[in-house]
């Protein structure tokens, strides 16, 4: 199977699932928003940990 066709089919399936989830409507808005804020908080925390680790490795004198 051609990898380009496979990749395109995976992208199309993702788009279809995304469009189907829009049909949940206002009933699921609260649950989706709560999950969104939780995921955003985890992403921000991981970003901060990565920044601290990168700065620690950048400025650490490993020869001492």
Question: In Å, how far are 40, 42, 46, 58, 59 from 50, measured between CA atoms?
Answer: 15, 12, 6, 12, 14
What is the model's pLDDT at position 63? 66
pLDDT over 90, % of the chain: 28
What is the model's pLDDT at position 21? 74
Q: How far apart are CA 31 and CA 13, in angstroms?
A: 24
Confidence band (pLDDT; 50, 70, 90) for 47?
very high
DSSP 24: T
- Is residue 41 over pLDDT 70? yes
Q: What is the pTM of this model?
A: 0.51
Q: How far apart are CA 28 and CA 23, in angstroms?
A: 10
Confidence band (pLDDT; 50, 70, 90) for 8?
confident
């Amino acid at each position: 199977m051609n990898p380009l066709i496979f990749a395109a089919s995976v992208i199309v399936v993702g788009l279809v699932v995304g469009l189907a989830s829009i049909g949940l409507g206002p009933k699921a808005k609260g649950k989706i928003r709560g999950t969104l804020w939780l995921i955003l908080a985890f992403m921000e925390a991981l970003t901060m940990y990565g920044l601290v680790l990168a700065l620690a490795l950048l400025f650490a004198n490993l020869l001492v």
